Chain A
Amino acid sequence: MVRLAGMLAGIALALAAGAAPAASKDAAARADPKAGEAIYARCLACHALAYDRTGPRHCGLFGRRAGSVKDFLYSDAMRRSKIVWSEKTLDRFLANPLKAVPGTAMGYAGVTDRKERADLIAYLEQANASPECRKLP
């Protein structure tokens, strides 16, 4: 019953997503990379940190221009998006990829919970500083 209440609270949070920028800052401030690692498991059908799969690698993500990993076949929409990946641009994209970049090949509804997005981004930042990522050219 407690779990159900938690789940329903999560759904309510998802429904309320996008309502308050201040809350987004709070979520980022409380971001937990450990929780983000668990959320990253959702990405592992298509992505990896250190190598390209159905989706591009995530090492080197921050500061990288969208659509720019060498030899990876992006959608035209992503290549033309002019996005440079940062906490802010990732937050917007992950909330609703198809809305943020219409035509993206990432046919995914998004991570609607703002705290989950903050955790996921915190994990990606932490992973990008890891030896696994830093040893890559």
Chain B
Amino acid sequence: MSFLILGNAPNALEARRSFLGKSGLLLSGAAVALLAGQEALAKGGKSAASDVRILNSALGAELEAIAAYQVGADSGLLQKPVLDLALTFQGQHKEHAEILSKTIAKLGGKPVSAKDKYSFPTDTLKTQADVLRFAATLEKGAVSAYLGAVPVFGNRDLAKAAASILGDEAMHWAILRNALGEAPVPSAFMS
């Protein structure tokens, strides 16, 4: 179901209220920002095409993260409540992927699909700590990737939305580090 599709309904406001009330789905600021600015992007030419490429790279990484958390969840190595935490983080990556995919499509791009098979270093995952460390590596990489993407978006709404996702990934990273007994926030700046 799409926010913009609802916005085109004859009585859009009422329809949207009804939708939100029935589904319990609330669009975050990031989601709204990602789906917004369509007109500006349509005028953007090269800049818009570049934005779509950046969004598609982000989508590819999010889809891989979803698969990685599934590997962790299926490994039998994660104990509650860590398992619940991993599934919560996976769910948030799914939310990122869904909104990125919709935004790419609305901008006229073709969202990348999840691969049939991903390569993960499963032979090195022997304990819960190994899984958490692997996930932390991916989350830290995601923070850096979004940090590197924010300044190069042509559309500032998209940059803002990417920064919002970056914040979520940074929280994942910090909590995974904390679960590993490491300083959750090791420095004042990210790079």
Contact = CB atoms under 8 A, between A and B. Distances in A.
Interface in A9-50: 39, 41-46, 48
Interface in B103-158: 118-119, 137-138, 140-145, 148-153
Contacts, number: 73
A54 B119 contact: no
Nearest to B145: A45
A129 interface: no
B90 interface: no
B50 to A, nearest CB: 7
A135 to B, nearest CB: 14
Contacts of A41: 137, 140-141, 144
A45 B144 contact: yes
Q: Which of A3, A52, A103, A106 counts the most chain B CB atoms within 10 A? A: A106
A46 B61 contact: yes
A52 B118 CA distance: 9
Q: Which of A42, A51, A104, A109 counts the most chain B CB atoms within 10 A? A: A42
A103 B48 CA distance: 11
B99 to A, nearest CB: 17
A46 B141 CA distance: 8
Contacts of A51: 119
B148 A53 contact: no
A108 B152 CA distance: 7
A43 B152 contact: no
A43 B151 contact: no
A21 to B, nearest CB: 25
Given A7-B189, A98-B152, A107-B152, A44 B137 contact: yes
B152 A105 contact: no
B36 interface: no
A58 B178 CA distance: 30
17 contacts: A7-B189, A41-B140, A41-B141, A42-B144, A42-B191, A44-B138, A45-B138, A45-B143, A46-B61, A46-B141, A46-B145, A52-B119, A54-B64, A103-B53, A107-B50, A107-B54, A107-B152
A89 interface: no
B56 interface: yes
A53 B64 contact: yes
A126 interface: no
B114 to A, nearest CB: 12
